Amino acid sequence: DKGGWPSFMAKEVSEEPEAVAKTVLGRVKDGGIVIPELDGLDELFQGIDRVIVLACGTAYYAGLVGKYAIEQWARIPVDVELAHEFRYRDPIVGSTTLVVSISQSGETMDTLMAVKEAARLGAKTLSICNTQGATIPRESDAIVYTHAGPEVAVASTKAFVAQITALYLLALHVGRVRGALAPSVAEESIDELEALPAKIQWVLDNEQERIEQLSHWMGDTRSVLFLGRHVGYPIALEGALKLKELSYIHAEGFAAGELKHGPIALIEPGQPVFVMVPSPRGSATLHAKVVSNIEEIRARGARVIAVAEEGDAAVLPFADEVLRVPLASPLFEPLIAVVPLHIFAMGLATAKGLDVDQPRNLAKSVTVE
C-alpha cells in the first residue's frame, strides 16, 4: 500500500527519519548502547583483530560509511569489500576476523555465498539485515536487524540510512566492549543518533520541493557527477548509483581528492556536479579542500550543486545551487546529506516519466550470482 504517495519510493523516502528512529529504538538504555541480540558475545568482540564488511550495491556504500565509525570508535581495522569479489580470490580470513554482512533483503546470493565462504574459512559472521528470518541472518553467528520496515521500491533508500545506523550502533557497542570508546564520545554519539530523525525530517520538510524543482529543470541532463570526501565519498557513490538505476543517465561518484588525478578532464561547460561539502566544524582543512575543488570545477564551467550545512557561507560564491542540511557532527552528516540525493534521483526519473519503483532490468532482490 502506497499510503497515498505517488510511488513506494516516495513513501519510503518519507520514512527515512522513522527508519533511523526505529533502528535506534530500544537500543539506548541508561545513556549506553544495549543490543540484546549481541548478549554473550563480548568475548568474541574482544578477540577479533579485524573486520571485513561484505555487501553489494547500496548496502556496500553503507559499509563504506560504517568503516569510519568502526575504526574511530572501536579502533579495529576494517576492510569493506563487494561480496561478489570476495569469494573469487584467496581471502586472508581466520578465527579473529569478524565478517559483517549487510543486506536489506537478506537473500542477495552474492552476499550469501561470501558469508558462507567466510564461515568456511573460520571467520565469525554477523549479519545486518532488514528482513526477519531471511537466509543470510540464518547463516550468520549473530544478527543486528535494521528496523526500516518493508522496502518495496527497487531503489534502496530507507534501508540505507537504517544500515548506517545499525553499523554505528554496532561500532559504539564494540568500542565499549573493547574499552576503546571514551564515555563522553559515546554519550555525544548517542545524542547525535537520537537527533538524526528530526534533522532528516527537516530536509524533507524544507528542501524537498526545491530539489524536485531542480530535478525537473534537469530532465534532459545526460550525465551527472558526484564528489565527496571522507564519509561524503560513499554518499557521492550512492547518489550516482541511485541516479543511474532510476533515470538511466550516466552518473559517477568520485572522491573529491581524486579529481586532479583524472576525472577533472570530464568537466566541460554546463556539466552538473553535486558536491558533498563537509562541515567546516569537523575538519577546517577538509572543508577548505572541498571548497577549492568547487572553485576548480567551476572555473571550468561546471554547474555546481553543493550539499552543505546550514550557515556554511564559503560555498555561496561558487555554487550554482546550495542544498541545505542541518548541522551534525562529521560522522553523522552522511545520514542527512544522502536524503537530497535520493529526492533528486527520484525527481529526475519522475521528470523523465519513468517508473521509479521498478526500473528496467533490475530486481529488488538479486537471488542469482
- Which residues are near ligand M6R by CB under 6 A? 56-59, 103-105, 108, 111, 154-156, 241, 245, 365-366
Residue 86 · residue 97 · CB < 8 Å: no
Closest CB 334 distance from ligand M6R, rounded Å: 16
- Nearer CB in complex with ligand M6R: 101/271: 101
Supply the minimum distance, in Å, between the C-beta of residue 108 and ligand M6R: 3
Complex with ligand M6R: residue 154 or 275, whichever CB lies closer: 154
Q: Tell me how far, at minimum, the Cβ of 109 lies from ligand M6R, in Å.
A: 9
- Choose between 150 and 183: whose C-beta lies nearer to ligand M6R: 150
DSSP letters for 195-224: HHHHHHHHHHHHTHHHHHHHHHHTTT--EE
Which strands sit side by side in the sheet containing 303-309, from one edge to the other?
A: 250-255, 223-228, 272-276, 303-309, 321-325
Instruction: Name which of 309 and 357 has its Cβ closer to ligand M6R.
Output: 357
Alpha-carbon distance of 269 to 261, in angstroms, equals 20
Residue 57 CB, shortest distance to ligand M6R, in Å, is: 2
In sequence order, what are the beta bridge partners of 273? 225, 304
Contact 312, 281 (CB under 8 A): no
CA 29 – CA 7 distance, rounded (Å) = 36
CB of 150 to ligand M6R, least distance (A): 12
- The span from the CA of 36 to the CA of 222, in Å, is 48
Active site residue 364: yes
Q: Which residue is nearest to ligand M6R (CB)?
A: 57
Q: Which is nearer to ligand M6R, 111 or 221 (CB)?
A: 111
**What 3 state SS string does 274-289 have?**
EEECCCCCCCHHHHHH
Annotated active-site residue in 2, 116, 352, 364: 364
Residues recognised as catalytic? 364
